Amino acid sequence: MNGTCTRLTACSYLVDPSGKKYPTLTANDKAGNIKYVDVNGDGRINADDKVRLGNSLPEWQYGGNVFVGWKDLDFSLSFQGVGHQRVLFNTDWIQPLKQQWGAVPSLVLGKFWSQHNSDAENAKAKYPRLTYTNTTNTYTGSDYWLFNGAYFRVKNITLGYTLPQKWMDKLTIRGLRIYASITDLPAISNYPKGWDPEIGGSSSDFLSTSFTFGANIKF
């Protein structure tokens, strides 16, 4: 690595199994943590190595409605979504033992680096080692945790049928339409399973799909 370390420039290194030395974000970095790139090549990882990774706001938003009628049948559909939004994984999705008594999120089970794994298993690990105390090294914002937050969701589908008027005349009513409706179908997105792009990362609420059956009667 280029650059020198002095008492005035905090510089921490870690040596990988091949013997290569590379700078780390903090002095207590360990194997299994995320590696950060020394962008400017000065031999240390700090704010000077930050680069622009994109915009957290969606580049575009869209939505629409479709209505089709044929004889006594009617069909409507509404949808919405956003395109290309750079989103950081929320630590609520990933961080284990967050409240010390908490469990490990199912998202990372069997996919994290561990000293109990073989070298081959660790080479395939998707997530860094589990830790509650070394959060700066692991959860500092970087492209490691970045994903495309675009999504598409069907907000409503409704299918209706208006009964023939000759039937209504026998019932002495002006009209009867029966319908079935589905609202807020699961979104198509890159969000972790169980998290909704419209709710956000830290909310304990969720957007549920609802089914409605009903009738419109005219007297």
What does the chain look like in DSSP terms, one character per residue?
A: --S---TTS---EEE-TTS-EEE-SSTT--TTS-----TT-SSS-SGGG------SS-SEEEEEEEEEEETTEEEEEEEEEEE--EEEPPHHHH-TTTTSS----TTTTT-B--TTS-HHHHHT-SB----SS-HHHHHS--GGGEEE--EEEEEEEEEEEEPPHHHHHHHT-SEEEEEEEEESPPPEESSPTT--TTT-SS-S-----EEEEEEEEE-
Looking at the domain assignment, is residue 10 inside a domain? yes
Q: Provide the pLDDT confidence category of residue 103 given band limits of 50, 70 and 90.
A: confident
Residue 69 in any domain: the answer is yes
pLDDT computed for residue 129 by the predictor: 87
Instruction: Please give the residue range of the domain that contains residue 7.
Output: 1-51
Do 3 and 46 lie in one domain? The reply is: yes
| 70 and 103 fall within a common domain | no
- Asked if 42 and 70 sit in the same domain, the reply is no
pTM: 0.75
What's the mean per-residue pLDDT of the chain?
A: 82
Q: Give yes or no: residues 176 and 71 share one domain.
A: yes
> How sure is the predictor about 1, in pLDDT bands with cuts at 50, 70 and 90?
very low
